[in-house]
Amino acid sequence: MGKQVYLVLMLFFSIAIAAPGDDIPMGSWLQAKEKVTQLQLYVQDILSGPNPSNVQVASANSTFTSPTLFGLVAVLDDPVRTEPNPDAEIVGRAQGLFAFASLEEISLHFTFDLVFTGGEYNGSVLNIVGHNPYLHEYRELSVVGGTGFFQLARGIIGVRTVSFNSSTGDAFFQYNITVLHY
């Protein structure tokens, strides 16, 4: 795409974003009472088959001789379900990326959005960041922001692997989410 087309597109999007600004009740948070929402959800990570939801996008030359896969970067768009079962209802998608970021152990740096696509939070988003030492029984991620129902969110997520297929790499993770928001 030429630079000029790009600039015109950016201008278009900045106008489109600026116009409906009244939708956000600016300042109303200051009077509102903070709420707590707790959710238990299951993230389905699909590495196998023709439509993986987790794909490697980059690595270093040394990644595959590293015992911790240091330097591997992947992008995910994992279905988020109500139960750890591939037939359970999908209420959202975990969209973002992670990197194998430790020289000492298999540990991921995560940064992704939990985008709700159904249920009562449809259209809202939680922004999630954190340190994920994958082989530990229990780990925690942080909720650092949110939109829609979850404005000004912050919170904590307990994560456990509930199933892992060692031949395919497919897995389900339990996410116990506690969020403070307005």
Contacts to ligand NAG by CB under 6 A: 61, 118, 122-123, 158-160, 165, 167-168, 174, 176
Q: How far is the CB of 5 from ligand NAG (least distance, A)?
A: 29
**What is the smallest separation between the CB atom of 137 and ligand NAG, expressed in angstroms?**
9
| Residue 63 or 102 with smaller CB distance to ligand NAG | 63
User: Given the complex with ligand NAG, which of 10 and 168 has the nearer CB atom?
Assistant: 168
Residue-by-residue DSSP string for the chain: --HHHHHHHHHHHHHHHHTTGGGS-TTHHHHSPPEEEEEEEEEEE--SSSS-SEEEEE--TTGGGSTT-TT-EEEEEEEEESSSSTTSPEEEEEEEEEEE--SSSS-EEEEEEEEE-SGGGTT-EEEEEEEE-TTSS-EEEEEEEEEGGGTT-EEEEEEEEEEE-TTT--EEEEEEEEEEE-
| Residue nearer to ligand NAG on the CB measure, 4 or 61 | 61
Distance, in Å, from the CA atom of 101 to the CA atom of 113, rounded to the nearest integer, reads 19
Residue 92 or 145 with smaller CB distance to ligand NAG: 92
DSSP 6: H
Residue number, nearest CB to ligand NAG: 158
Q: Which is nearer to ligand NAG, 29 or 131 (CB)?
A: 131
| Rounded least distance, CB 156 to ligand NAG, Å | 10
* Nearest Cα residue to 53 out of 68, 64, 43: 43
Least Å from the CB of residue 14 to ligand NAG:
23
Closest contact distance (angstroms) between CB of 48 and ligand NAG is: 6
